[in-house]
């Protein structure tokens, strides 16, 4: 094979919609290979997106899966991906319906929302950066396989153990019971303590499981989550930035405009009175009439 033939064979194939076929891989290198192979104007969009995400979320984890770049936070899952289509680049926010304002393009998934970037289209980078920041602070997605969706594109399908948005609160409560038992360490005890305080504060709170088994407590909207990591139990309040916190409970996710979190470590003492007051305030905020900006 001559040199030109070798060069041609080394170029990634373009699949439906002009999407590059890039082997799965972790890190920045496969993402940059994907971006370099994006056809025409789309490659510039890919470079701008990658730079914006990297700048907004320092240390962001990158990978290529199913011929799409993925961006996430180590230990928390993926929050964003993008993919080439014939007339636009589709940016997928896996927790898009939890972002404010909600990204404009609907999805078949209950959680995912999209932004379509077209050739010569106006891109509000400040808004994109705000969405990226918000998304990176939410529990991420573990995408295990994909199904065909719109113009032969891909949409990630959630694992069967995740995102249980059941209306049967008893079923969700039973699964949270099981999760606490399976933790079988200080994290289980802490999660059970937090759960009890939430129920005391808002007796008719709704329990759900979302995002691959994360407990969520809602009352007219999400109050908070109960995420468990190796060394932390994290309560993320969906509208925490709008809540008064006189006891200074919030100690994580302090930079965003929407959410605030409380990280509880082994041996930490929980201020029960202050936490219950914060939970009640979050529930009241969800029930308050929306104000026009």
Domain range summary for the chain, segments of one domain joined by +: 12-158, 169-287
**Residue 253: predicted pLDDT:** 87
Assess whether the previous peptide bond of 101 is cis (omega < 30° from 0): yes
- The Cα 221–Cα 206 span in angstroms is 9
Quote the mean pLDDT of the chain. 84
**Residue 126: predicted pLDDT:** 95
**Residue 173: predicted pLDDT:** 83
What is the average pLDDT across 244-271?
A: 92
pLDDT at position 267 over 90: yes
The full length of the chain comes to 293
> What pTM was estimated for this model as a whole?
0.53
CATH topology classification for 12-158: 3.90.1150
**Residue 282: predicted pLDDT:** 96
φ/ψ of 148, rounded to 5, equals -65, 140
By mean pLDDT, which of 2-16, 87-101, 116-130 is the weakest? 2-16
**Residue 256: predicted pLDDT:** 76
**Residue 121: predicted pLDDT:** 80
Distance of CA 121 to the CA centre of its chain: 26
Q: Would residue 75 be called left, alpha or beta, if left means φ above 0 and alpha means ψ between -120 and 50 degrees?
A: left
Matching fold, domains 12-158 and 169-287: yes
CATH topology classification for 169-287: 3.90.1150
Q: What percent of the chain has pLDDT over 70?
A: 86
pLDDT at position 193 over 90: yes
What is the average pLDDT across 103-117?
A: 88
CA distances from 108 to 96, 103, 155, 249, 259 (A): 12, 14, 9, 37, 25
- The Cα 186–Cα 36 span in angstroms is 47
**Residue 1: predicted pLDDT:** 47
Of residues 184 and 267, more confidence is placed in: 267
């Amino acid at each position: 094979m001559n040199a030109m033939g070798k060069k041609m064979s080394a170029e990634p194939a373009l699949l439906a919609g002009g999407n590059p076929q890039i082997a799965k891989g972790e890190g920045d290198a496969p993402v940059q290979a994907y971006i370099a192979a994006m056809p025409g104007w789309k490659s510039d969009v890919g470079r701008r997106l990658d730079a914006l995400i990297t700048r907004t979320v320092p240390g962001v984890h990158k990978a290529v899966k199913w011929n799409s770049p993925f961006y996430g936070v180590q230990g928390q899952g993926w929050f964003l991906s993008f993919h080439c289509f014939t007339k636009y680049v589709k940016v997928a926010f896996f927790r898009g319906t939890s972002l404010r304002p909600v990204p404009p393009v609907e999805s078949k998934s209950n959680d995912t929302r999209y932004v379509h970037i077209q050739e010569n289209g106006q891109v509000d980078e400040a808004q994109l950066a705000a969405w990226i920041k918000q998304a990176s602070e939410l529990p991420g997605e573990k995408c295990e396989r994909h199904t065909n969706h719109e113009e032969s594109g891909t949409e990630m399908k959630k694992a069967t153990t995740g995102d249980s948005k059941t209306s049967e609160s008893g079923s969700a409560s039973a699964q949270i019971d099981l999760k606490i038992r399976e933790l079988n360490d200080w994290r289980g005890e802490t999660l059970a303590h937090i759960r009890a305080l939430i129920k005391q504060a808002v007796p008719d709170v709704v329990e759900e499981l979302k995002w691959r088994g994360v407990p969520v407590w809602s009352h007219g909207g999400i109050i908070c989550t109960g995420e468990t990591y190796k060394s932390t139990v994290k309560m993320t309040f969906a509208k925490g930035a709008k809540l008064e916190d006189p006891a200074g409970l919030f100690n994580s996710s302090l930079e965003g405009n929407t959410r605030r979190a409380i990280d509880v470590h082994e041996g930490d003492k929980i201020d029960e009175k202050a936490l219950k007051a914060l939970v009640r305030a979050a529930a009241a905020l969800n029930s308050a009439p929306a104000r026009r900006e």
